[in-house]
Amino acid sequence: MVLRYDCGEVITAMVTPMTKSGDIDYDKVEALATHLISSGSDAILVAGTSGESPTLTNEEEIELLSTVKRAVANKAKIIVGAGSNSTETAIKYTKLAQKEEVDAILSVVPYYNKPNQRGIIEHFSAIAESTTLPIILYNIPSRTGVGMLPETVAYLAGKYKNIVGLKQSCPDMDQITEIKLLCPEDFVLYSGDDSLTLPMLSLGAHGVISVASHLFGTEIKSMIRNFKSGDILAARNMHKKLYPVFRKLFMAPNPIPIKAALEYKGFIESYLRKPLVQLTEDEKIELFKVIDSVKAELSEEG
């Protein structure tokens, strides 16, 4: 079956490396993007939640895009977070993304305003009508304060061909089933939580927009490929091995733990923009112990 638009199976929601002063470290951005495309990532999401998008300026987002483009050099797709709780602002970001020639955008359900389903439909309809870019909707009720219902997703997917997929960050498996039942077959579903990837694959998801793929991209890709090829046992075993990391990377608000982990592994420094703050030393020890344990188990079997 041909998908409406395929950004790949493993999309990494890339963090934005920063210096102690809070400036973006563009050298580390380029190095991290290069690492990601060599370790299982089919696409990179720039300026998503993991990239601390609420604190980025338009100018910084453009420079981030150009830096990641240079690193990727057409070896992976580039997606940019272009959502807002203001429809006019979301359209502005979407048009800017199209001008920058990205491959697709991720557009989140409006946060804080708490629109009803009709408001969500009007919001995404206006965005879809403003661009020819492929749009991946983003449903994350824990951050937005309101969830997008399966019927709403299906209406938008049915009306707009450039609304190509959904990142679903909600552990309700019944909703996943309903989305798959109601939406067109070529509409692409992504897990928005690493720990839900395998369960969602069993219900028809295509892949994951991942945080853990910063460190375990190859393993996550292997899990997905094994599942799709019918080696369910291998996929389940990989899920079980990675599960402790999946959970620990959300022991504090994302991207605090993954930035600490990337610093531990020597990729970036773990600086964040306020109001996010770094893990305590005890929390770091707890996180690093799990990462090392999982790495050791994978090495023993690899």
The DSSP element (H or E) to which 108 belongs, if any, is strand 104-108
132, 160 in Cβ contact below 8 A? no
What CA–CA distance (Å, rounded) separates 171 from 42? Answer: 24
What CA–CA distance (Å, rounded) separates 243 from 1? Answer: 30
61, 46 in Cβ contact below 8 A? yes
Give strand pairing partners of 78.
44
Token pair of 189, please?
């579903």
Verify whether residue 26 is a known catalytic residue.
Answer: no
What CA–CA distance (Å, rounded) separates 75 from 92? Answer: 28
**Catalytic choice (69, 167, 248, 259):** 167
Verify whether residue 161 is a known catalytic residue.
Answer: no
Q: What separation, in Å, do the N-terminal and C-terminal C-alpha atoms of the chain show?
A: 33
DSSP character at residue 12 = E
61, 80 in Cβ contact below 8 A? yes
**Catalytic choice (5, 93, 138, 155):** 138
Active site residues: 138, 167
